[in-house]
């Protein structure tokens, strides 16, 4: 079996009010003392006083920097700033944008980063993959996983509910991602890791089993989603690729970004894609659709403001997004006619 590299976080802490303890949590990780904190303005206004005090109590120096648009240019700017300030490590505090910029700037600067999510919208909070605009591809690229994750459930439960819903859609999508990976192993001989595949599936199954509880979020159900997202990202770190977490359903989501930009969150579109790809894989797409609907995830084009034509175009385009990645789309070879029938059969379009 060809060797592959596993890169995993060294410390993961999930709990209530733990951003007030971040200095202690990071204290013995030997990160150095000079940190650069990255966030948007709302998060800075909300957390800067308590967060900075905790960092200071832990013996850390903190520079707080607001990040701009999610772009490769912003990653470059942060990388240069980190070097100028002599930063020993970065901390991404916030949603996907701040963490992705921290992740990619960390990779560029060859210094570690800490992930402090304020929402549970996708598994990027722990995975070794980042995505910003301005790259030469519409999907995530390899970077580094966080050295530590500090997930404060008090903050995450206050985030807009659709972000939590998106995280659930991203998690349930592992059902088809793993099937695609297994299919590729059979058809092309690609490496397939049973442990990482099963870990990703465990995350998906937990969300489906707890869908009723997640539909009315509380501290316990929020923890389930956060821990599942972290486990999913760790599965990618164990696999050495995004394979256990990203398959044909993600290709559909990326295609929707091209065909209908701004319509639906990433995880929402992945969930919708999972319904259709499950049908192609002969999985129980009805149960998947039911679970998505229970947690509040959109299951029809209309719910994300998309048209039937946009769904069909994205289904046809999806196969060409990552030509090196073998998925069920290689076997289905969807045409406009067959794509429309697929989407109609599972109720995504009328």
The verdict on residue 134 lying in a domain is yes
Would you say residue 350 lies in a domain?
no
Residue found under tokens 């509380």: 218
Q: Is 62 helix (H, G, I), strand (E, B) or coil?
A: strand
pLDDT on residue 137: 60
My answer on whether 149 and 248 are in the same domain is no
Which SS3 state, helix, strand or coil, does residue 115 take?
strand
**Distance (Å, rounded) from C-alpha 26 to C-alpha 29?**
6
Distance of CA 344 to the CA centre of its chain: 28
- In terms of domains, do 334 and 188 share one? yes
Residues 233 and 117 in one domain: no
Q: Which domain holds residue 127?
A: 11-156
How many helices, marked H, and strands, marked E, lie in the chain? 16, 8
How far, in Å, are 72, 117, 201, 286 from residue 126 at the CA level? Answer: 20, 10, 16, 30
Burial 64-92 (b: 16+ CB within 10 A, else e): bbebeebbbebbebbbebbeeeebbbbbb
Judgement on whether residues 72 and 136 belong to the same structural domain of the protein: yes
| pLDDT averaged per 10 residues, the chain (length 350) | 75 94 94 96 92 94 93 94 97 92 94 96 88 66 89 94 96 98 97 96 97 92 95 93 96 96 96 98 98 98 98 98 95 98 98
**C-alpha to C-alpha distance for 153 and 150, rounded to whole angstroms:** 10
> Exposure of 202 by Cβ count < 10 A (0-12 exposed, 13-18 middle, 19+ buried)?
middle
Residue 220 sits in a domain of what CATH number?
Answer: 1.20.1090.10
Tokens at 184, concatenated: 């590729």
Residues 151 and 189 placed together within one structural domain of the fold:
no
**Residue 302 domain-assigned?**
yes
226-261 CB burial, b ≥16 within 10 A, e <16: bbbbbbbbbbbbbbbbbbbbbbbbbbbbbbbbebbe
The C-alpha atoms of residue 205 and residue 178 are separated, in whole angstroms, by 12
Residue 6: inside a domain: no
Q: Are residues 173 and 204 in the same domain?
A: yes
DSSP state, 271?
H
Boundary residue ending a domain (141, 156, 171): 156
- Rounded Cα distance between 200 and 76, Å, is 32
Residue 4 lies in a domain: no
First to last CA, the chain: 46
Q: Is the same domain home to 81 and 99? A: yes
pLDDT for res 138: 59
Q: What is the pLDDT of residue 287?
A: 98
| Complete DSSP assignment for 184-203 | HHHHH-----HHHHHHHHHH
Instruction: Provide the token pair at 117.
Output: 């999510």
The CATH number assigned to the domain holding 70 equals 3.40.50.1970
Task: Let me know whether 185 and 148 are in one domain.
Answer: no
If asked whether residues 130 and 199 sit together in one domain, one would say no
| Domains in the chain, number | 2
Instruction: Tell me whether residue 226 is in a domain.
Output: yes
Is there a single domain that holds both residue 253 and residue 106? no
Same domain for 229 and 112, yes or no, is no
């Amino acid at each position: 079996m060809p060797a592959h590299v596993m890169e995993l976080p060294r410390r993961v802490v999930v709990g209530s009010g733990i951003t007030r303890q971040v200095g202690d949590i990071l204290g013995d990780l030997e990160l150095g003392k000079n940190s650069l904190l990255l966030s948007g303005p709302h998060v800075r206004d909300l957390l800067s006083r308590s967060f900075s005090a905790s960092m200071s109590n832990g013996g850390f120096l903190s520079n707080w920097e607001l990040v701009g648009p999610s772009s490769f240019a912003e990653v470059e700017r942060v990388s240069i700033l980190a070097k100028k300030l002599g930063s020993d490590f970065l901390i991404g505090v916030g949603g996907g944008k701040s963490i992705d910029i921290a992740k990619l700037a960390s990779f560029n600067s060859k210094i570690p980063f800490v992930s402090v999510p304020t929402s549970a919208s996708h598994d990027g909070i722990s995975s070794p993959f980042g995505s910003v605009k301005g790259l030469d591809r519409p999907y995530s690229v390899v970077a580094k996983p966080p050295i530590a994750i500090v997930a404060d459930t008090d903050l995450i439960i206050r985030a807009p509910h659709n972000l939590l819903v998106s995280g659930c859609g991203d998690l349930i999508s592992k059902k088809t991602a793993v099937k695609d990976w297994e299919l590729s192993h059979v058809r092309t001989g690609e490496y397939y890791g049973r442990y990482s595949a099963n870990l990703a599936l465990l995350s998906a199954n937990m969300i489906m089993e707890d869908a009723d509880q997640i539909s009315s979020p509380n501290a316990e159900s929020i923890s389930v989603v956060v821990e599942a997202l972290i486990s999913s990202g760790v599965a990618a770190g164990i696999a050495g690729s995004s394979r256990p977490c990203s398959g044909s359903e993600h290709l559909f989501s990326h295609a929707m970004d091209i065909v209908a930009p701004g319509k639906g969150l990433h995880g929402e579109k992945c969930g919708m894609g999972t319904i259709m790809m499950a049908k192609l894989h002969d999985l129980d797409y009805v149960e998947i659709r039911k679970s998505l609907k229970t947690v509040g995830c959109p299951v029809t084009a209309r719910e994300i403001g998309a048209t039937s034509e946009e769904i069909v175009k994205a289904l046809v385009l999806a196969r060409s997004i990552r030509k090196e990645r073998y998925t069920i789309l290689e076997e289905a070879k969807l045409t406009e006619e067959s794509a429309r029938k697929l989407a109609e059969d599972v109720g995504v379009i009328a």
